[in-house]
Amino acid sequence: MTWVVDFFIILILIVGIRLFRTPKGARRGNQMAAVALALAVVAVVVRNPILSPEIVLIAFLLGSAVGLWVAMKVSMLNIPAMVAFQHGAGGVAAFLVAFLELTRHAEFLTTTGRVSGYLGLIIGAATFSGSIVASGKLAGYIRQPPIFLPKHNPVLLANTLIIAVLAVVAWNTLPAVTPYYLAVLILLAVVLGVVFSIRIGGADMPVLISFLNATAGLAAAFVGIIIGNRLLIAGGATVASSGSVLTHVMLKAMNRSLATTFMGIKIGSGPSGPPADPSVVGFPIPLRTDVGEEGGEGETKVEESEPEDPFTEAVRVLKEARSVIFAPGFGMAMAQAQFKLVELANRLRDAGKEVRYAIHPLAGRMPGHMHVLLAEAEVPSSELFDIKEINEEFKETDVALVVGACDVVNPAALDQEGTPISGMPILMVQESGRVIICNLDEKPGYSGVENPLYENNRAVLLFGDAQGTVEKLLEQVTFD
């Protein structure tokens, strides 16, 4: 009857995951998934006798304490780096279990079990090192732009072939020698993960995170096969499939293929829309000169004043706007500006203005990161719109307010070929009546591509710390 218990636990896990589809259900879904995993641990402990319970208990308490400490200390800004590290931890667990099973009693394993063991060992070790590289890039310990080795693709291919040959040799060696071959195999797989991940830049990091999520699950599923654990197979397969779906979604958002992203091709898939028009006429809010009129016998006299200070202009533009779309980016997260931004949005809404948030799938550093950051600031889910839902609305919007975003609003992606972001869909903020940019400086984003939006005559540039900038706007955008 063990399969009935396993089926019940897997069902709870699937139902919990299904609840992740809505922000309100995500908390309950997370709790259900945690219950399912706890039941799985209990089932494994009950079915398998523990020879050294004191060691298991010490490991359990130590791991729980470290996990709790990390969960309490980490901020939302560092969640992507922590998630990447956790993928690496899953890879370590997979290749260690596979190593033990292949060295303890490989002669009693079925062919399917041995194949799964080798795959779990190789994929787990590569996932570990690749995840550590990703975590280091996300945390700023490793240079975030792509790092290309000489003959990068040939090195990657040669490493893969050597791993395959060594795995065959290890399969056919004597049991006493096998551990040494497996240790070398792990080392080569670790090198493979580093070489594979090191050339993924900041703009493609969500794709890498999703892919490593899938490989961590795949390694766990293979280990589940070698030890004959249905729960581990199901859990690993669920993670692998969800990670694969996320990878597809991220690649689609980038408008490129898996091979283009991971084979290190620097040229994007080409422009995916009309070139950005630097001067759209008919916008509802005047440009940077105040205009006064004096009428007399059918004659109009126009007087222009000196250009406004950018900050004064931004305040005026927001006060005069009827509709505002916020376009947040990772810079907002780094500056922790989301709370002040929401206060500003609430004030504009209370003044009768339409307020919405445009979310690019690559605006954070992992899938859904920006949604979670804004949910933390209590933004209603009804005001969050993905790129496909909101892009057509920019041309009808008075003001687009960009906060800490560069690559995801860079018109160069539409009309410049041969850049890391060429062909990537962007938030079409340049089509709004006016654009207010609250970025740290005018330097390019992670892609290294200059943003022509900064030279648009309808853009108001407020460079500096995003939190300070938005807080200053909040102080001055008042409605009596």
Q: What are phi and psi of 450, to 5 degrees?
A: -60, 145
Topology (CATH) of 307-476: Rossmann fold (3.40.50)
How many residues belong to the chain? 480
pLDDT means per 10 residues, the chain with 480 residues, are 86 88 79 91 86 87 88 76 87 93 83 92 95 86 80 91 93 85 94 91 78 93 92 90 86 76 56 45 47 42 57 91 92 87 92 92 76 82 88 92 91 83 87 92 82 90 91 88
Selecting among 6, 290, 407, 480, the annotated active-site residue is: 407
> How much is the pLDDT for 270?
45
> How much is the pLDDT for 124?
95
> How much is the pLDDT for 271?
46
> How much is the pLDDT for 295?
44
| Alpha helices per DSSP H over 48-204 | 53-73, 79-104, 111-139, 152-171, 178-197
> How much is the pLDDT for 421?
79
449: left (phi over 0), alpha (psi -120 to 50) or beta: beta
Query: Which two three-digit tokens encode residue 478?
Result: 């008042």
> How much is the pLDDT for 361?
82
Specify whether 398 is catalytic: no
> How much is the pLDDT for 123?
95
The whole-model pTM stands at 0.75
Instruction: Work out the angle at residue 185's Cα, subtended by the Cα atoms of residues 183 and 186, and round it to the nearest 5 degrees.
Output: 65
Please tell me the distance from the alpha carbon of residue 244 to that of residue 238, in angstroms, as a whole number.
Answer: 10
Every domain range in the chain assigned CATH 3.40.50.1220: 307-476
Please tell me the distance from the alpha carbon of residue 226 to that of residue 98, in angstroms, as a whole number.
Answer: 8
> How much is the pLDDT for 443?
86
